[in-house]
Amino acid sequence: MVFSSLVFVFAYLPITLAAYFISPVKWRNAVLFVFSLAFYGWGEPAYIAVMLASVLSSYGFGFMIEKYRANDRRKAKLFMLLSVFVNLAFLLFFKYFNFFAHAFGAEGIEGLKLPVGISFYTFQIMSYTVDLYRGEVAQAKRFVPFGTYVTLFPQLIAGPIVRYKDVCDQLSARKESFQKFASGAQRFVCGLSKKLILGDGAAAAADYFSAQSELAPTAVGIWAAIAFYTFHIYYDFSGYSDMAIGLGRMFGFEFPENFDHPYVSKSITEFWRRWHITLSTWFREYVYIPLGGNRKGKARTYLNLAVVWLLTGFWHGAGWNYIMWGAYFLVLLVAEKAFAGRVLEKIPAVFSRIITLFFIGFGWLIFFRTDISRLFGDIALAFGAGGAFSDLPTAVDILKLLPFALICVFGCTGIPLRVCKKILSKHAKIAAAAPAVTVILLLICTAYMVDDTFSPFLYYIF
């Protein structure tokens, strides 16, 4: 799919930037709106209508919610629910119709494809509708800025999930500057490097060990596949988030952070505060807290967590493994709240981090194995059943990849960022060389893209 090709992004970005900055300030939202629709339409032309229907319906319902919000809350709530229903209907149909049809023994719709990014822009639209009903944001009276918010191409495919209240002021008044543009470009290249150099490298290693586990099953081999997939999903997804935040900054926007070194977490609870932060925030504010959060006793808290994690798993994909993945983390989080959290707090931090990372990695096995029968086989293999512990070729392959794995481990910590900030703040000459380093990294990434022109982002399928 052209949509997921970084080559297409690189070809499209200079044209968009040029059109944006030569336009008068009052027309810049319109330029972004048009170019974002064109960007989306290049990969999914048939689904522009679906996106526009979502945008138009929520924009129109916004007028009705605003009209009745102050003096007739029942009618305002009705229009809020209608808006949510319309947008969820699109998501449920395209993402889950065939899943439920097959689950109940019926035939699905052949050729039904998932519109790229629908899970992300649907949640963004719903945040506007709910926050407007709550009185937390002003109504979007002009269509173009609102349409720009929903379709903004830097974060359209895979987030971060930007709530309307986070950027509504920026849509009406934002300041572009050379410093902000340069900072955004550096952040973009940083994310691109994470994705292409580390993320794609880890993906190749994970695929290799996964394939080897079928030919010569070993416990060490399947754990190697899990470890490299753990690196892959982090560098690919956080790299995309960095690119989106950087691109947004180049256009004058400040998007929320989406990752905060999640693999250094000392508990699963902390991990989910650091991983895909905007999704966790969305579920907390629009599902968990409205259900009562942890304010109505332990039993109700666990029930609320169950709802959130069923939805979280299902949001990621229409497959039983995603539901199992959500249930897996539900069990871990309930265990932490009940007793395990106190244990993790008492042991040395290094051990709590290792234990947490073990359970995270095992969760990624459930996440990426969509074939349930193979999933159970891999789980058995990981714990010593169905194959040897290791063999010589697997051990040799791991030793060859050990330097790359150590780089990936180091990059997951906050150390590189802290060191860079310290050096740049204390050494002006090195700081002056930062643009040159950015250009060098960009050239290296370009060489990677020339070698492999199709480089899909992992999360664009969600």
Domain boundary residue, one of 174, 206, 240? 174
Distance CA 185, CA 250 (A): 7
Residues 39, 187 within the same domain: no
| Phi, psi (rounded to 5 degrees) for 192 | -60, -40
On the question of pLDDT at 2 being above 50, the answer is no
Tell me the mean pLDDT in the region 58-69: 94
> Domain residues for 128?
2-174
> In this predicted structure, what is the pLDDT of residue 64?
95
Q: How confident is the model at residue 443 (pLDDT cuts 50, 70, 90)?
A: confident
Residues 157, 287 within the same domain: no
Cα distances from 18 to residues 21, 190, 215, 224, in angstroms, run 5, 22, 52, 45
Residues 139, 265 within the same domain: no
Number of domains the chain is built from? 2
Residues 279, 389 within the same domain: yes
> In this predicted structure, what is the pLDDT of residue 110?
83
Residues 169, 184 within the same domain: no
Residues 238, 346 within the same domain: yes
Residues 167, 229 within the same domain: no
Smallest CA-to-CA distance from 201 within 416, 446, 408, 364 is with 408
Cα distances from 380 to residues 151, 230, 266, 322, in angstroms, run 44, 19, 27, 19
On the question of pLDDT at 265 being above 60, the answer is yes
Distance CA 215, CA 243 (A): 37
pLDDT in tens, 203-247: 999 999 999 888 889 999 999 999 999 999 999 999 999 999 999
> What b-and-e string marks burial along 277-293, b requiring 16 or more CB atoms within 10 Å of the CB?
bbbbbbbebbebeebee
Residues 242, 295 within the same domain: yes
Distance CA 77, CA 61 (A): 11
Amino acid present at 70: A
> In this predicted structure, what is the pLDDT of residue 180?
92
Residues 215, 124 within the same domain: no
Domain boundary residue, one of 118, 146, 174? 174
Cα distances from 160 to residues 63, 151, 212, 258, in angstroms, run 27, 13, 34, 6
Domain boundary residue, one of 130, 145, 174? 174
- Which residues are catalytic, by number? 316
Residues 252, 401 within the same domain: yes
Q: Dihedral, CA atoms, 74, 80, 83, 88, nearest 10 degrees?
A: -110
User: Cβ(180)–Cβ(249) under 8 Å?
Assistant: yes
Dihedral sign from CA coordinates of 379, 384, 387, 391: positive
Percent of the chain with pLDDT over 70: 94
Residues 125, 243 within the same domain: no
pLDDT in tens, 85-137: 999 999 999 999 888 888 888 888 887 888 888 889 999 999 999 999 999 99
> In this predicted structure, what is the pLDDT of residue 191?
92
User: Cβ(270)–Cβ(352) under 8 Å?
Assistant: no
Residues 438, 318 within the same domain: yes
